[in-house]
Amino acid sequence: MNRVILAVLFFGLVIPNVFGASLSLTLGSLSSVYEGQSVTLSATVQAIGGSVSNTDMQLGTLPSGLSTSDSLLQNVGTLSAGGSSAKTWGITANTAGTYTLTVTATGDSVSTVTSNATLAVTAAPFVSVSNLSCGSSSVTKDNNVTISYQLQNSGGTSTTITNDLSYDSSYFTLVQGSDPSSFDLNAGASTSATWKLKAIACASKTITIAISTLNNDPEDQSCTYTISGCPSTTPEGATSGPSILGKLGGEVTTAAEEKLTTVLEESISGTLTLEDIAQILGDVDLDYDAEQILALNKDLEFTREISVDKIDKNGKIEYLSTISLVITNASGKFLQNIKIIENIPKEVIGSASLINSDYEFDVLKEDPVIQFTLDELPSDYSEIITYTTNNELKKENLASWTSSPFILEFQEQSLCAGVSCKNLSCKENLGCNELTGKCDYDNLTDGISCGENKLCKAGKCVAKEEAGQVTGATTAEEGTKTQPDYTLVYGIIGLAIILGIAYYFTRKKKK
């Protein structure tokens, strides 16, 4: 009988603990991060069907490009049946790439379990500002100023850029562009930002644009303008006349009143014909194909905004005529090094020597035909070139100005300019797509080696054992690797053995 009791105790207490215990391992999901950022990998181990002693969790050797200051081996100790323990590792992302992290859980008398998590690291966006253009620093009241600059994202992912203008609304009004303006800029891409403001009062004022992104803080941009052309006024209660120096026998100065009146405002679009181009090219002896020039300008728009100001300086009448040449690029292309031909009838301005501009220009013909050069003109943007003459432009003479300006030549900036396509694990680098300006990739064939004990699968580099499974462990749910729970089966088997032994000894005693 004692043997029966001992057998029952042995199989009832020992067998379930030995045959029923197992471990399950769950990894937390990892969000993608930028280079230089850190992320926490969490792992939870649980004892199933019995207690497990000497439990440990081990983070595998980190791939090149990742680092941690935590111990790879984390001791858990003894887990009671159903008990669990969580451990974490702080992972620093040093280099862009897609990485597989492997954690293994071990314990006495149980099978080792392994789980994987995937960490995607991208190069952080970095926005820089260049080619600030303020135009002329001197502007006449009721004329426009144009501010533009170039933005480039040299990082590895897109970002949102916000431009916020700061100016005195008593002196400027915004006539083109949004304030503030926000837009996304893709990795490796560049674009221009442009605003046009109208000067409405006289002073020296600065316009500042604050540029912000989610990742870096580009330098703010600013332009200072001196606005002139306003009538002089005598403050209320004051009188004009000789100064105190005159009364004392010195030089006499008299306050000079200046009255400005706009006497003409006109907008001329003009037309561009093959005959006009051929005539102008022949007049200035330029060897270009007129048909090609006409085709080159089919998606470009030109408008001349003309204003004539009459300036009365104590009875002395002067005139200032301002021509603002507005060029709009509707070609869908980013244009650079643009040469613009402006043909002006002699009835409008008699000689090129009478033309003034803060924009540099070449005189091709004194009659005049002049050439301006623009550094760049992004698609769907407008640029304004302003020039003046101290002569009065008359409305009847403007009727002869029917020919439109035209672009003689330009260079087209590729959408892929500045785009660097990085080589990615398990991806074939197809280079930059000229139509989109983005990098194209194809997945390499599944099963190709991508490292020690690693294979490519669906464009990702995974451990060999994972490559043979249908899904990978990239989320908390997928990261759970649980051994089948045979507790009930082991219990039935153990009970059957116990009953069999009891029956055997009982029969033997009866005999």
Q: How many alpha carbons lie under 13 Å from residue 283 in its C-beta half-sphere? A: 19
Residue 76 main-chain phi, psi, to 5 deg:
-105, -40
Cα–Cα distance, 310 to 198 (Å, whole number): 19
Q: Has residue 475 got a pLDDT over 50?
A: no
What's the pLDDT tens digit per position in 293-344?
999 999 999 999 999 999 988 889 999 999 999 999 888 888 889 999 999 9
Residue carrying the six token digits 């292309």:
333
Instruction: Give SS3 for 23.
Output: strand
Name which CATH class applies to 124-230: mainly beta
Same CATH fold, 124-230 and 21-123+451-485? Answer: yes
Max mean pLDDT range (377-381, 498-502, 503-507): 377-381
Q: Which two tokens stand for residue 414?
A: 């590729």
Q: What is the mean pLDDT of residues 141-167?
A: 90
State the DSSP string of 135-196.
--SEEETT-EEEEEEEEEE-SSS-EEEEEEEE--TTTEEEEES-SSEEEEE-TT-EEEEEEE
Q: Has residue 364 got a pLDDT over 70?
A: yes
The CATH classification number of 21-123+451-485 equals 2.60.40.10
What's the pLDDT tens digit per position in 251-291?
333 344 678 888 999 999 889 999 999 999 999 999 999 99
97 - beta bridge partners?
121
Q: What is the pLDDT of residue 418?
A: 65
Q: What is the pLDDT of residue 237?
A: 40
Residue type for 394, please?
Answer: K
Q: What is the pLDDT of residue 173?
A: 92
Residue ranges of domains in the chain? 21-123+451-485, 124-230, 257-421
Q: Has residue 12 got a pLDDT over 90?
A: no
Q: What is the pLDDT of residue 1?
A: 52
Q: Has residue 354 got a pLDDT over 70?
A: yes
Q: What is the pLDDT of residue 432?
A: 86
Cα–Cα distance, 415 to 411 (Å, whole number): 13
89 - beta bridge partners?
41
Q: Do the beta carbons of residue 96 and residue 123 sit within 8 Å?
A: yes
Q: What is the pLDDT of residue 346?
A: 93
State the DSSP string of 232-291.
P-PPTT---S--HHHHTTS----PPPEEEEEEEEEEE--B--HHHHHHHHHHTT----HH
What's the order of all strands across the beta sheet hosting 221-228?
Answer: 138-140, 221-228, 203-213, 159-166, 181-185
Cα–Cα distance, 344 to 383 (Å, whole number): 19
Q: Has residue 464 got a pLDDT over 80?
A: no
Q: How many alpha carbons lie under 13 Å from residue 400 in its C-beta half-sphere? A: 11
Q: What is the mean pLDDT of residues 111-139?
A: 90
Q: Which residues contact 106 (CB under 8 A, 6 or more apart)?
A: 23, 54, 55, 56, 58, 112
Cα–Cα distance, 469 to 111 (Å, whole number): 19
State the DSSP string of 66-81.
EE-SS-SEEEEEEE-T
Residue type for 406, please?
Answer: F
Proportion of the chain above pLDDT 90, given as a percent: 47
The more confident residue out of 174 and 9 is 174
Cα 504–Cα 507–Cα 508 angle in degrees, nearest 5: 85
User: Quick one: which of 146, 173, 206, 174 has its CA closest to 378?
Assistant: 146
User: Quick one: which of 159, 229, 233, 174 has its CA closest to 207?
Assistant: 174
Q: What is the mean pLDDT of residues 369-395?
A: 90
Q: Has residue 16 got a pLDDT over 50?
A: no
Q: Has residue 24 got a pLDDT over 90?
A: yes
